[in-house]
Every structure is written in structure tokens, then in C-alpha cells.
Amino acid sequence: MPLSEHEQRLLEQMERALMAEDPKFATSLRHGSSGADRRGIIGGVVGALAGMGLLLAGVSASLTPLGLVGFIVMLASVFLVVSGLRHGPAKKAETEGPSAPGPSSASSPKPAKGQSGFMSRFEQRWQERNRRDGRES
């Protein structure tokens, strides 16, 4: 279902505000998770499955050292997968500049500590819309 013109304008306005507020985060969202190392993630998943197999083999054969090694392999593999997913897109965002036009973050005033300018504006608009529709939040 296509967006209406009003919804498209609001979405574009939110995108510009996000780009002005945090360009690195906005760029990482725009590019998705394509910056993640797929081979490392697949290797980590295979390693986690192998570790789980070793753990189960150690428990079923009452070999505590084998179960411990399996647990360590599984834990290390899961850590590698999670860190690969977390740091993959951010590295790509650092190498590329912002591609969407919009005001630079240097020219926009910074919100007070603990407040996000984008989020506070978004909440204000939400509250105004609810008041206009006759609902209170």
C-alpha cells in the first residue's frame, strides 16, 4: 500500500532530522546490515553448533572436560557472531559520508543533556496529533 503525500513528507522530514541529529546512525540504517562479515557470521553459527554438539556429547558420556570445552567453543562462537553483527554496519558507515542532503549536525543546535532533539520534536507532534483527534496520552 503506497504512502500518501502527507505521509511521504513526514517520513522525509523525519529522515532529514535523523540525518542532522546522528549522521553515522542514519547512514548505518540506510545501508542495513550489508556491512556485516557474512563468512564470519556463518563460521560463528557453525562453531556454536559444533560447541553445542561437544557439550551434549560431554554430558551424555559423563566427560566433564569435553562438555566444558564444548561450552567454551559455543560461547566464543556466539560472541563472535554478536560482535560481527554489532560492529559490521558501523565500520561501513564510518568510511562513507552522509549521502542524503540535509542540514549538517554542526549547524544545528545541540539539545540539552539527556534530551534528543529529534525525539522531543517527535513526541510533541504525537501529543499535538492526539489532542487534535480528541485523545489524551
Residue partners of 55: CB distance under 8 A and separation at least 6: 67, 70, 71, 74
In a domain, 45, yes or no: yes
Please indicate, yes or no, if residue 107 is contained in any of the structural domains: no
Residue 56: predicted pLDDT: 94
Provide the pLDDT for residue 7: 86
Tell me, yes or no, whether 78 lies in a domain: yes
Residue 58 counted as domain residue: yes
Would 38 be classed as within a structural domain?
yes
The answer to the question of residue 86 being in a domain is yes
**The domain containing residue 27 runs over which residues?**
22-97
The domain total for the chain is 1
Give pLDDT tens digits along the chain (137 positions): 787 888 888 888 888 888 888 888 777 776 655 556 777 788 888 999 999 999 999 999 999 999 999 999 999 998 888 877 776 544 444 444 444 444 444 444 454 555 567 788 888 888 888 888 776 55
Any domain includes 132: no
Q: Is residue 76 domain-resident?
A: yes
C-alpha closest to that of 66 among 77, 80, 51 = 51
